Every structure is written in structure tokens, then in C-alpha cells.
Structure 1
Amino acid sequence: FEPHPLKILAPERAPRLILTHKDKLRLLQAFGVDVAIVQTFDPTFANVEAEEFVRRYLVDVLKVHKLWVGRDLRFGKGRKGRVEDLIHWSTEAGFEVGIVDPIELGGVRVSSSQVRTLIERGQVDEARRFLGRCHFVSGRVVLGHRRGRQLGFPTANILSRTEVVPPAGIYATFLQVGERQWPSVTSIGVNPTFGDGPLTIESYIFDFQGDLYGQAVRLYFVKRIREEKKFASPELLIEQMRKDVSTAQSILREVDPAGSLREAK
């Protein structure tokens, strides 16, 4: 559904989304899904009763032969439809229902809520275990204050379209432009050494020469290196940045971008 149902039914309770709609479709394509049907979720659709949804949409429109659902499925107006109802109606309509059991890692159920919590705590390496890929944000490179360039670390300032962003800190990352990924170290924060400002996402790309302004990018988070700190002088900040670069390089040498980033071609 697009948008997320809670954005229509209860906006104050709507979760921040881990993926943009476009990124979700691209990942489905990368996983080999041939067709994705996007249903606009609006007040009219929200009032469709569960049985009507099955008969009108699944049977009459999609002519479904087999449907796979989670064991805790709820559907239809007021979320009144349950798996047992679906199985009953499917028998009458002549299609099969398959049940997908929950997946667990280390005794913890894999869910968007769990992944969202890990990312928002900065535990992006742990989130990667649950996602099977690095969490990424999509956005565009915009003009910044050019402070990084003055310090000897020119950065790409990224305006994110993704809702779930890790907290302030320094991260080992990969920056993707088109089909290519570059190792990088990324700062998320308010630049406290120079007086707090708005939250920014700034990536220093190793061994990169070029101009990325205006380009669409993806930033993949591999591991958090440290929290954001205020330094007594720019010189001390530069010294720490050199250490951060070295740490990020060591981390990223152990990660295979092709295996971790799961890209749609």
C-alpha cells in the first residue's frame, strides 16, 4: 500500500519508514520479483470490508491462485479480517493460502519495528544482520558550508529522502552514485565544534576527485565508529578526523560492497 495505512488512519501513530516507496520497489526488483502491484491507500479503500477485499481484489481483479501471508495477518476495514477468515474464503473461491512463519535471529523476531529501533540507536551493524543488507538513505548532494574542504576533508552534504536516519555520530559507510560505490566516513550531527547548526549528513569519500553537487546518491551505513563530540579547536578535530578515516578504512576492508549492498541493476 502507498502511503502507509497509518498515515491516513492515524498520522500521529504512523511509523517512520525504513525505505522510500521507490527504494522498496527497486529492492523487490533486485530480489527477482517480476511484478509489484501498488494499491493507493485512501479513506475509500480503508472502508473496504475484509470479505469484499478478498472477492473484489484478490479473486475478481488479480485472479489469484496462491497467496502467501504472515501468520499475524490483519486486513480489511478495522483490521477485522484474520488468517482463518482468509482460508475460509479462499476455499470457497478456489485459491490456496500459504502461511509464512516469523523469522528469528538469536531468539529475536525479525520485524520492521526491531530494525527501526536498531537503526535509531546507531546499531547499524546489528540492523544489517536483520536486513540482510546495509541500511541506506537515499538523497541528493546539496551545497554545504564547505567547512570540510577548509579542514582538508571535503565532504558530500546529503539531503536525505529516507525517514529513518541513524543518530548523530561518525559512521563507516559506502556512498553510491549510479552503479559505483566508494568507501567513505560519514558524520551525522550539528557540527558542535563550530556552534550548533541544523542536523546534517556529510560524507568524506576516500580517494575521490569530482563534483557530486545535485546528484542522486545512496549512503550505506556499515558501522558506527563513535558519537559526535565538540572539540576545543579545529586542529583537534582534524586530528580526530584522521583517526576516524583510518578506523573506517579498517572496517570497510572487511566488507564486500557487492555482497552487502544488494542493488537493483
Structure 2
Amino acid sequence: MPSIVPPDSPFFARNEAFVHWGGEGDMPVALRGAVVAIGNFDGLHRGHRSIVAATVALAGEQAAPAALLTFEPHPRRFFAPEKPLFRITPPDVKAMVAARLGLAGMIELHFDAALAATTAHDFIEKLLVERLGVRGVVVGHDFHFGKGRQGTPAFLEEHGAALGLAVRILPPVTEDGQAVSSSAIRASLAAGDIGRANQLLGYRWLVRATVRHGDKRGRDLGYPTANLALAPDCGLRHGIYAVRAAVAGTVHMGVASFGRRPTFDNGAPLLEVHLFDFRGDLYGRAMDVEFVAFLRPEERFVTVEALIGQMDKDSAEARHLLGESNLGAPSLLCPQQS
């Protein structure tokens, strides 16, 4: 599979001046008078990035900064808190992706009852123009906003123009005749189809967590692991994966298991990452884990010896896949690799 993002893509250069603002206090100077892309942007996938690219272009025309305007918690979680929502990119990972897209920053507004009750007209006039002082807006063709989702792209275009806003509406991006969407990516990850998910994303999907103490069983098996607890609503298929993991700016190849460890305790889902040729203490350290390929489903083994034998095979397969010169979708991790 060829690289989805060309070598000169901003994906390979993080904007070190990127500002992640949570909406409290005064607007940071770097984001004042911005042109904003508005949406939830879960995944910041290829469809979202067409909106971001148009935002950066419009900002250039306006001699203004370009920013992402998004919401936390995700509105679906606000309106239906009882329904799990598999987040492809939680806020910190979303900011990590956004910082590579030529944006000055990300504005993250708290989604609460007051915001949900804001009329479409007030969303434009009171929030966008008066509070945030934006100069332009870019949205997707299906963007709705305001109380009861009454605001439409056409409404935004008409009323925004009356208030002096430059407005751009973008069509969907399609793949094999289907719109690239967060839902399609969630479905691919749930099926273990990492290749498809990464193709739709345009980069390799990754998670970020802190290494925690475990039962040290992996060390006894000859495969010490870094244990990471992912969000309870993580919908990734349980199984074994070839991964790359970044710790303190250095990237290591490895193999990972996500699941309940049916051979031992069938406990709560846990991501266990074994880094090849690594020695050191990782407890309490932040780790980014990038998923390259699905190797096999999680399974229960009758003996520990059978499990170790399969782990040897998994590691060999992961080393082979990770050693190939063309790994497909580009990486968001540091290019340095051990």
C-alpha cells in the first residue's frame, strides 16, 4: 500500500507553537481572529483533513491563524451518557494529530446544557463572533449546530455572511464509493482490520496511556510487558498486534496483546506491550502505541508452554512485518527508531 500522505505532508512536522486552549479565561493571542474548522473531528481522518486543509487555505487568504474548534465531552456522550462511545482520538491524541496539520491551535469548548440550549443564531453571533472573534468558518456538508440541531450549513452560510464571516462548506471525502467517517473507522478497529482503519485515517491509529504495574507474569514467561489501561469504552478487537511504541521521544518495535488474558484470569481488558530488544523501567511513564497490523484473535491455551510457543511465533511475525520497508500509512510517532 503506498503512503497515503506525501513525504512533504505537515504530518511529519509538529508545530511546536501549537496552542491547545480549553475555552477558559482569555483567548490566547495566537488564536485571536482565527479561521476555524468546526466539528467533533473524532479521528481527524482523511475526510476531516479536507476541512482542515480548506481552513488553512482560507486563513491564508484572510491573513489569520487557522484553528480547530471542537467540543468536550463529545455531544453524543452528553445527550446519551448511558451509551458507550468508542473515541478514536481522545482530546490529547486529537491535539497531537492537529499539531501536524498546519494549524495554530485547537479550541476545545465544554459541551454542557447551556451550550446545548444555544440557538443556531446565538451560536453564530454570540459564540463565534462575539466571544471567540472568529473571522471565518469551514464545516462539512452535514454539520448541524444549535438547539435541536436546527442550524444547517446553509443557515451558517447565510447568517455568517451577514455578520462578515467567510464561510466554506466542504463535500464528503469518499473511499470505494463510501464516505470516510469516524463510524467506519470504529467498525474497522472493532473487526481488527487495522489496515482499513489506518487507510481511512491516513495515519496509523494510536493510543496514549501511562504504564502501570501489573502482575509481572510476562516477565516470568520471557516476555516482559508494559501494561496500559485503555478507556473502558475502547472498542478495539481483542487480539495480538504488531505495534510501534514511543517512550521519551524514542520509538521501539514490539508486539502487543489487548484483551482479558483468558489463559490466566479473564480479567478486565488490558493492553500489554512487549518491546523488542528493550531493557529499562517504564512504570509511570507515558507511552504512545501505534497499531500496524492485527496478527490473530485472543485465545485460551491449555498449557503455559503452548502459550509461550505461540508468543514466539507472534513475535517473529511482528518483527517481519515491522521490518518491511513500506509499512503503509504514515506514522505520527518520532521517526527515530531503535
Range into which the TM-score falls when normalised by the shorter chain? over 0.9
Q: Distance in 2 between matches of 1:15 and 1:191?
A: 24
Q: Distance in 2 between matches of 1:229 and 1:106?
A: 33
> Match of 2:241?
171
- Conserved in 1, the CA contact under 8 Å of 2:117 and 2:147? yes
> Match of 1:205?
275
> Match of 1:38?
108
Q: Distance in 2 between matches of 1:263 and 1:219?
A: 9
Shift of 1:224: 0.6
- Conserved in 2, the CA contact under 8 Å of 1:2 and 1:38? yes
The reply on whether 1:61 has 2:142 as its aligned counterpart is no
> Match of 1:223?
293
- Conserved in 1, the CA contact under 8 Å of 2:135 and 2:166? yes
Query: Which segment is superposed worse, 117-126 or 53-62?
Result: 53-62
> Match of 1:100?
170
> Match of 2:120?
50
Q: Distance in 1 between matches of 2:314 and 2:323?
A: 14
Shift of 1:100: 1.2
Shift of 1:238: 1.1
> Match of 2:209?
139
- Conserved in 1, the CA contact under 8 Å of 2:93 and 2:207? no
- Conserved in 2, the CA contact under 8 Å of 1:171 and 1:221? yes
Q: Distance in 1 between matches of 2:258 and 2:86?
A: 18
Per-residue deviation, residues 6-50 of structure 1 (Å, max 9, x unmatched)? 222222346221111122122211222102222111101111100
> Match of 1:149?
219
Alpha-carbon spacing, 1:255–1:59, altered in 2? closer, same or farther (3 Å): farther
The reply on whether 1:246 has 2:316 as its aligned counterpart is yes
Query: Which segment is superposed worse, 30-39 or 70-79?
Result: 30-39
Q: Distance in 2 between matches of 1:250 and 1:162?
A: 31
> Match of 2:78?
8
One-letter identity of the residue aligned with 1:15: L
One-letter identity of the residue aligned with 1:231: F
> Match of 2:161?
91
Aligned-residue CA RMSD in angstroms? 2.1
One-letter identity of the residue aligned with 2:153: V
Tell me the SS of whatever aligns to 1:59: helix
> Match of 2:142?
72
One-letter identity of the residue aligned with 1:125: G
Shift of 1:163: 4.4
Tell me the SS of whatever aligns to 2:107: coil
Tell me the SS of whatever aligns to 1:192: coil
Alpha-carbon spacing, 1:148–1:83, altered in 2? closer, same or farther (3 Å): same
Tell me the SS of whatever aligns to 1:48: coil
Query: Which segment is superposed worse, 108-117 or 190-199?
Result: 190-199
More helix by share: 1
- Conserved in 2, the CA contact under 8 Å of 1:135 and 1:221? yes
Quick one: percent identity of the two aligned structures?
A: 35
Shift of 1:165: 4.5
* Residue of structure 2 aligned with 1:116, choices 173, 186, 201: 186
Per-residue deviation, residues 81-104 of structure 1 (Å, max 9, x unmatched)? 111111111231122211111111
Q: Distance in 2 between matches of 1:5 and 1:254?
A: 41
Q: Distance in 2 between matches of 1:39 and 1:264?
A: 29
Query: Which segment is superposed worse, 97-106 or 11-20?
Result: 11-20
Q: Distance in 1 between matches of 2:98 and 2:92?
A: 10
Query: Which segment is superposed worse, 161-170 or 20-29?
Result: 161-170
One-letter identity of the residue aligned with 1:180: T
Q: Distance in 1 between matches of 2:72 and 2:269?
A: 28
TM value normalised by structure 1? 0.93
Tell me the SS of whatever aligns to 1:188: strand
TM value normalised by structure 2? 0.74
